[in-house]
Amino acid sequence: MKAFVVEKYGKDGARAAEVPEPTVGERDVLVHVSAAGINPLDKMVRDGEFKQLLKYQRPFVLGHDVAGVVTRVGSAVREFKVGDEVYARPRDLRIGSFAEFIAIDADDVAPKPASLTLQEAAAVPLVALAAWQVLVERAHVKPGQKVLVHAGAGGLGSTVIQLARHLGATVATTANSRSEELVRSLGADVVVDYTEEDFSKVLSGYDLVLDAVGGANLEKSLTVLKPGGLAVSVVGPPDAGFAEQLGAPAVLGLVMNTLSRKIRKRAKALGVRYEFFFMRANGSQLRELGALYDSGKLRPVIDSTFPFERTLEAMAYVEQGRTKAGKVVVSMVPENG
């Protein structure tokens, strides 16, 4: 089958290749890929940023988001059958959606939301799971709380705005003037134009900040939290909890804590908390999220769709920051197919 594989770590390490179809274990479903979403995580894995923790055997197929049609099920799978339209974020070490077929553990798969096309559904799993796991599991966001999400027009930000609003929070976001109308339509109550204003000078008393920018932006984010508030970053620095989540040796947890010592010390001095976040695959959460898409509480935001053979171009487009809003998708079939 055709696929895009990582042969060596680095910017030029991915290429098109012919690879064997995946083998199907007893708890797997084989999915004929209709579309795949592009995520910043694809670049990070291609570049080997997590190679100490995620030990992929090269060459491996890249791609963390998928929507498609089940073509085979393992002997122990009862919840899916051939012909089902599904979507998933396959678990780490079993990624590979930039291919014609992918075998996925059935626990990571959910029925595609009926209201979404396969292309739309492919844009959803990673960012929707991340939004759910941060807002619901980590932060336990409740009505009346205040949430700040940076880069609100992005794939993650646009999803977090909608879910936080659904949970009853007051939502602030940073965006540029071109994106203000979009983020307000998604549910943002307060929009700070980062090209004109410093968010840390105009916002205060927040329960949660979700940061996808890092660096100085993360440090400033700590200052807008109320006492006991939580800053969560999806770009780092990582902490010991990340190593624990991936089942890494304790010594790597110590290394991670060293990397995040400065930001954790700053947070403690301000009376707030810092945590690194790395989402995990979860089919049952995707079922719950699917119901929110079908009820109109959430909607995907898609920047553009590339044909499958231009997957590397689509990755470069995201990497170069050319995305105006939402996600980029690669499609095996024409948009109306």
**pLDDT(336) > 60:** no
Cis amide bond preceding 237, omega within 30: yes
Residue among 233, 194, 227 nearest 211 (CA): 233
Predicted confidence band at 169 (pLDDT cuts at 50, 70, 90)? very high
pLDDT digits (tens, 9 = 90+) for 14-50: 999 999 999 999 999 999 999 999 999 999 999 999 8
Q: How far apart are the first and last CA of the chain?
A: 21
* Burial degree of 13 (CB within 10 A; 0-12, 13-18, 19+): middle
- Alpha helices, DSSP H, located in 31-179: 40-46, 118-122, 125-132, 155-166
Contact 173, 190 (CB under 8 A): yes
Q: Cα 203 from chain centroid?
A: 26
Q: Averaged over 72-98, what is the pLDDT? A: 98
Q: Are 63 and 95 in contact (CB under 8 A)?
A: yes
Quick check: 337 pLDDT over 60?
no
DSSP 58-90: SSEE--S-EEEEEEEE-TT--S--TT-EEEE-P
pLDDT tens for 290-323 read 999 999 999 999 999 999 999 999 999 999 999 9
What average pLDDT does the chain have? 96
